[in-house]
Amino acid sequence: MSSAAPSVRADASPLVVTLVVMLGSFMTVLDSTIANVALPHMQPSLNAAADSITWVLTSYIVATAIATPLTGWLAARLGRRTLFLWSVAAFTAASVLCGIAGSLEEMVVYRMVQGAAGAFLAPLGQAYVLDVWPQEKHGPAMAWWGVGIMVGPILGPVVGGWLTDSFDWRWVFLINLPFGVICFTWAAAVLPEPKLPQRRFDMTGFALLALGMAALQLGLDRGQHLDWLESWEVRAEFGVAVAALWAFGVHALSRPGAIVDRALLTDRNAITGMLFITLVGFLLVATTALLPTMVQTLYGYPVVAAGELMMPRGIGMMLAMMSAGQMLGRGIDPRRMLATGFATTGAALWGMSGFSPDQGAWPFIITGFFQGAGLGLIFVPLNTVAFASLPMALRTDASAIYMLLRNIGGSIGISVAVAMLERQTQISHADLGSGITPFSQPWADPATLAAAGAGAVVALLDGAVNKQALMIAYIDVFRAMAIMAVSVLPLLLLLKRPAPRAPQVHLAD
Residue 390 lies in a domain: yes
Nearest by Cα to 284 from 186, 180, 392, 412: 412
Final residue in a domain of this structure, among 224, 258, 292: 258
Query: What is the rounded average pLDDT of the residues 88-96?
Result: 95
pLDDT of residue 450: 57
pLDDT in tens, 45-90: 888 776 677 778 778 888 888 888 888 888 888 888 999 999 999 9
Same domain, 54 and 113: yes
Provide the residue count of the chain. Answer: 509
Q: Are residues 24 and 171 in the same domain?
A: yes
Q: Residues 76, 218: one domain?
A: no
How confident is the model over 330-354, as pLDDT tens digits? 878 888 999 999 999 999 999 999 9
Are 355 and 474 in contact by the 8 Å Cβ rule? The answer is yes
Which of 206-210, 256-260, 381-385 has maximum average pLDDT?
206-210
- Looking at the structure, do residues 356 and 480 belong to the same domain, yes or no? yes
**367 assigned to some structural domain:** yes
pLDDT at 507: 37
How many domains is the chain built from?
Answer: 3
Which of 214, 235, 258 is the last residue in one of the domains? 258
pLDDT of residue 51: 63
Tell me which residue range forms the domain holding 282: 261-434+452-504
Can you tell me the distance from the alpha carbon of 271 to that of 71, in angstroms, rounded to the nearest whole number?
Answer: 19
Residue 266 and residue 252 share a domain: no
At 507 the three-state DSSP class reads strand
54 with 121, same domain: the answer is yes
Percent of the residues in the chain that have a pLDDT greater than 70, as a whole number: 86
* Global confidence as pTM: 0.78
pLDDT digits (tens, 9 = 90+) for 198-230: 777 888 888 998 899 889 888 887 787 777 888
Do residues 37 and 56 lie in contact, with contact meaning Cβ atoms separated by under 8 Å?
no
Q: Angle 327-328-331 (CA atoms, 0-180°, nearest 5)?
A: 95
Q: Out of 260-269, 426-435, 438-447, 473-482, give the one with best mean pLDDT.
A: 473-482
Cβ atoms of 56 and 35 closer than 8 Å: yes
Co-location of 40 and 155 in the same domain: yes
State the pLDDT confidence band at 447, using cuts at 50, 70 and 90: low
Pick 103 or 500 by higher pLDDT: 103
Q: What is the CATH number of the domain that holds 465?
A: 1.20.1250.20
Same domain, 40 and 188: yes
Residue 458 lies in a domain: yes
493 lies in some domain: yes
Confidence class for position 184, pLDDT limits 50, 70, 90: very high
- Domain assignment present for residue 59? The answer is yes
> Is there a domain that residue 57 lies in?
yes
Residue 418, pLDDT above cutoff 60: yes
Judgement on whether residues 332 and 478 belong to the same structural domain of the protein? yes
Indicate the Cα dihedral angle 294, 295, 301, 302, nearest 10°: -50
Band (pLDDT 50/70/90 cuts) for residue 8 is: very low
Q: Same domain for 317 and 465?
A: yes
Please tell me whether residues 303 and 326 are part of one structural domain: yes
Residue 440 lies in a domain: no
Task: Give the model's pLDDT for residue 93.
Answer: 95
Q: Give the residues across from 7 on adjacent strands.
A: 507
Compute the CA torsion angle 196, 197, 198, 201 (nearest 10 deg): -90
Cα separation of 323 and 425, whole Å?
39
Pair 407, 498 in one domain: yes
